[in-house]
Amino acid sequence: MAKINNKTKIEVTDGVLIPARDDSSIFSAWRIAFYGAISVLVLLPVLSPEPYCHVFKFVVGFNEDWHFDFASSGLVKTFEVTVLSIICALIIGLLVGLGRISRYPVINRICTVYVEVIRGIPLLVQLFYIYYALAKFVKIMDISAAVIAMAICYGAYISEIFRAGIQSIPKGQMEAALALGMTRSQAIYRIILPQTIKVVLPPIGNEFIALLKDSSLVSILAVSDLLRRGREYASTAFYYFETYTMVAIIYLILTLFFSRLVAIMEERMKTDVNQG
């Protein structure tokens, strides 16, 4: 019997390992790293408030009396860049991914060239290009430049995930939809994409985490994200070791937290399907 369901899994080759509960070795490694990082984050400022506590406050965005200041928060900036970028990248990725399976050769070619070009240029170079090189023609604000560059770059990678996900759906699904009188776009929207979501969710979660990490590159532009705030602090207080230790720990906690979240989401989807 031909089994048509969502057993298809896209192999993930880079980024953080997603700790599923049934994979005990990775899951326990995740626990050690996550709770270890949290302990370090708590213990260092407690045992040695000067400078660790100050670094923490400065980077995350608390003032002297622990009031949270949105505007100066590196954490908020990092999230702002990451979330805006991933939303734009998902839109670009979906459109380009659909373009790559299009029957129209022109659309197909344009999308394929886009992916090849973007994947061949380092993200840092793309950031410089959009912020500095294109400044000759248009002045793009710091955060917009960062979001545009990250979205264009990650859109290319995500389009590959969508393409692979769509192509992993058995072709009998499209044929059955067409045979029932649906147009190709109705079939894609109603039949193919809903099944694709479950397949692409884990790799897209991974891209989100990778993007969160790569968002530190925007500290090069005048965007005050976590890393940039760290640099500002270190360069005035000269606590390089202490500052970058705290910054690294914060990034680590964030990525480990989100990788677990992705794993939980994936488990949910699996059980949803089984129970119907």
Partner 1 sequence: MSTRVKVSNVSKNFGHVVALNNVSCEVKQGDVFFIIGSSGSGKSTLLRCINRLENVTSGDIWIENDLVTGPKANIRKIREETGMVFQSFNLFPHLNVLNNITLSPRIVKKVSIEEAEEKARILLKRVGLLEKERAYPEQLSGGQQQRVAIARALAMNPMVMLFDEPTSALDPEMTKEVLDVMKDLADEGMTMMVVSHEMGFAKAAANKVVYMDNAEIIEMGTPQQIFDNPQKERTQRFLRNVLRT
Residue with tokens 């290009």: 129
SS3 for 245? helix
Residue with tokens 């202490």: 242
Taking the complex as a whole, the smallest distance from the CB of residue 204 to partner 1 amounts, in Å, to 18
Largest CA distance in the chain: 71
Please tell me what DSSP assigns to residue 7. T
Taking the complex as a whole, the smallest distance from the CB of residue 161 to partner 1 amounts, in Å, to 19
Of residues 3-42, those binding partner 1 (CB under 8 A):
4-6
CB environment 144-175: b (16+ within 10 A), e (fewer): ebbbbbbbbbbbbbbbbbbbbbbebbeeeebe
- Using the minimum distance from each CB to partner 1, give the nearer residue, 112 or 173: 173
How many residues lie near partner 1 (CB under 8 A)? 24
- Using the minimum distance from each CB to partner 1, give the nearer residue, 165 or 230: 165
SS3 for 190? helix
Distances (CA, A) of 207 to 6, 171, 233, 274: 20, 27, 30, 26
Please tell me what DSSP assigns to residue 136. G
Q: Is the peptide bond before 51 cis (omega within 30 degrees of 0)?
A: yes
- Using the minimum distance from each CB to partner 1, give the nearer residue, 2 or 138: 2
- Using the minimum distance from each CB to partner 1, give the nearer residue, 42 or 180: 180
Of residues 132-191, those binding partner 1 (CB under 8 A):
170, 172-173, 175-183, 186, 190-191
Q: Is 271 in the site for partner 1 (CB under 8 A)?
A: no
- Using the minimum distance from each CB to partner 1, give the nearer residue, 130 or 192: 192
- Give the residue, chosen from 1, 71, 106, 138, that forms a contact with partner 1 under the rule CB under 8 A: 1
Distances (CA, A) of 217 to 56, 125, 139, 165: 20, 10, 20, 29
Taking the complex as a whole, the smallest distance from the CB of residue 275 to partner 1 amounts, in Å, to 9
- Using the minimum distance from each CB to partner 1, give the nearer residue, 6 or 144: 6
Taking the complex as a whole, the smallest distance from the CB of residue 104 to partner 1 amounts, in Å, to 17
Which residues of this chain interact with partner 1, rule CB under 8 A?
1-2, 4-6, 170, 172-173, 175-183, 186, 190-191, 194-195, 273, 276
